[in-house]
Structure 1
């Protein structure tokens, strides 16, 4: 595996965000590099989801700086985040039970091909959905994640919760993102399903993505994260290398027994 580069793919500095009368984030910093999984942890209302929504363009910060590759950027919308190469999988997944895997991956982003007229290629003949190309790309993406989904034409409604999470993660890769944000991807999964999703996260790192993992599960975090960033009451309260930090150190930062 190639190690993280010196310049972060994504850098946040001094991020502030108020939600009504509540200071959700105060002077928060966060860096994430290519080939790196950064876990964002903290108790309920620590500000994790608020920060994820700012990265995803769903919310805008009241103050602070966001940089991509060391250059200042703004993320005023989800479309802007996508254009910058930022993809997010929220807990609701936003999948459609009535579609198969391919249909969910390409929903709203269908690949098209020009129809042929009886007399050869004709621009007036219009376009059609290129099912074969979408199937091929879907198989390629799922293979890159070492997915166990039996067929790209499997209806979503028959997939397990873990397989649905796989589809949601795979969908983010269509846009060739540089940053992937995963909000509680193993919540409510069985042990076997959790193991499969953690394998996908490791695959994202090996593929060169910068990954932000939001989770309450410290076992999962310590299994795949390179760094662990703790938020408490909307502020940074500890940064740890996952391979070196003990569970007790991280828990102390989460609960406030230690302060940054």
Structure 2
């Protein structure tokens, strides 16, 4: 088997050249990071769970007409995605005050916001992914005004979908972040949801107990992260009850 060409390695995923032009193989690692990678660990099975959950959410979005880069899952840790040019922004949608927003504004965690609030951060690890405004985005040319209108629309549609799905299994969607990609079709471009949607990129709380079922479990040392992610996957029917994610797979390059 020919060795695949690695395109990029991030904190949670590795990207490889896909089998066809315009495609990428996205591999989900077990690495967990927090506080801009100041805290690190390897959580066995995490990559498998995130792969399965991201497939579930991206497929659901595709089915309701929200375009994503997801094409198909290849195996327990890899999925085939469409190549795209990533807009250098993290798009954050908040339904409840939590994390940095609660700290920044002096709000109690869990305070319901009057409406979903969309925030933007510049994707730059060296700077700590700073919060930026639409004025910054326009001034520095990171995205056009039309792009921002489309990004806002995509983000709110993703929020509606995720919030409804989670509510149906007794989970509160507190907030989440997504990345947006540009794809070019002839002389035209369109924006699509890219990267991943998983408990790594969402805050998920049990509606009844407030139990955290997301990466805050790792950030705040609240228990076993794999157990939390497995609970989400089980409730959504992504994994059957009693199943455990595949541990220590062999990656063939």
Q: Say which structure is richer in strand.
A: 2
TM over 0.5: no
Higher relative contact order (CA 8 A, sep 6+): 1
- TM-score normalised by length of structure 1: 0.31
